[in-house]
Amino acid sequence: MAKIENSKIKKCNLCQQEKKLITKSHIIPEFFYREAGVYNEKHYMYKIETQRYLRTGEVSYVPTGEYESEILCEDCDNNRIGELETYGSKVLYGGLSPEKNIKFTNYRNPFDGFEYTIFENVDYKQFKLFLLSLLWRAAISKRKTFKEAQISIKNEEKLRKMIFTRDAGEINNFPIVILSYLRDNAAPTDLIAQPIKSSTIDKDLITMMLAGFVFVFNITNNYKEISEIKDVTITPEGKFTVLHIPKGKTLNFILKYANLK
């Protein structure tokens, strides 16, 4: 018995203290699976390997959620990350109490017909750190599913510090662009896909598709071209834009955005 207990005393990836680590931590928060409607009491979930899905349209099933064992202590999982998840799910899928006062306004660009939603009064620190916690968890995961979310050790440590010390950094520290395919009823809303890594001449991106949203993380070191995305990424003023992918275009659009097509 004591042996088993001792084997669980390890260094927590987030607080870095030697502690008893929990056996089930989610890499992708459970609420994404619920929102995608791919969660049931047997814990069967769809797993879509992006490349294979695009090639063949095939989807596979996995018998458990994407749990990872012994990566976090209970305090970090339930409280530090849990608090961010609670906030993030409410921003994305609603449910914040009225006094939190998040404002969202829908627009349509008259020139190209693109629809977008501007969110305001969002807690920059909580929301950005929630999003970065998705990237960080995928990055530290040893599971094959997350192989394209691997980042440099330096960036991994930067993210860990930001999450642990509750410091969301400046606008150009890991800026994130959010697209949505919730309005594309031709798109598979139950899509929870493996992260995709891609690079252009001037930037390195990791794209994660989760239950109607596409999160594009810019992991370029010292990213300078902030003017390109300052109107869409989440700003310290608590504002960000979600671009709605046009009907019937979801997968092509995402791949183009990630520079894979």
Select from 10-18, 54-62, 228-236, 240-248 the region that touches Zn ion (CB under 5 A): 10-18
Q: Which helix (H) or strand (E) holds 207?
A: strand 204-210
Q: How far is the CB of 164 from Zn ion (least distance, A)?
A: 8
Task: Assess 83 for contact with Zn ion (CB under 5 A).
Answer: no
Of 22, 48, 73, 214, the one binding Zn ion by CB under 5 A: 73
Size of the chain in residues: 261
Following DSSP, what letter does each residue of 131-160 receive, concatenated? Answer: HHHHHHHHHH--SGGGGGG---HHHHHHHH
And the tokens for 159? 């993210």
Task: Assess 15 for contact with Zn ion (CB under 5 A).
Answer: yes
Rounded to whole angstroms, the Cα distance separating 233 from 26 reads: 25
Q: Which helix (H) or strand (E) holds 252?
A: helix 250-257
Q: How far is the CB of 69 from Zn ion (least distance, A)?
A: 14
Cβ closest to Zn ion, residue 90 vs residue 160: 160
Collect all residues with Cβ–Cβ distance below 8 Å to 183 and sequence separation of at least 6: 115, 244, 245, 247
Cβ closest to Zn ion, residue 6 vs residue 109: 6
CA 194 to chain centre: 11
Task: Assess 251 for contact with Zn ion (CB under 5 A).
Answer: no
Task: Assess 140 for contact with Zn ion (CB under 5 A).
Answer: no
And the tokens for 46? 């769809």
Cβ closest to Zn ion, residue 27 vs residue 209: 27
Residue 152 has, within 13 A of its CA and on its CB side, a CA count of: 8
Task: Assess 164 for contact with Zn ion (CB under 5 A).
Answer: no
Task: Assess 76 for contact with Zn ion (CB under 5 A).
Answer: yes
Cβ closest to Zn ion, residue 26 vs residue 90: 26
Cβ closest to Zn ion, residue 30 vs residue 74: 74
Q: How far is the CB of 28 from Zn ion (least distance, A)?
A: 19
Select from 55-63, 73-81, 131-139, 167-175 the region that touches Zn ion (CB under 5 A): 73-81
And the tokens for 67? 């749990």
Cβ closest to Zn ion, residue 12 vs residue 92: 12
Contact 12, 78 (CB under 8 A): no
Residues in the site for Zn ion, rule: CB under 5 A? Answer: 12, 14-15, 73, 76
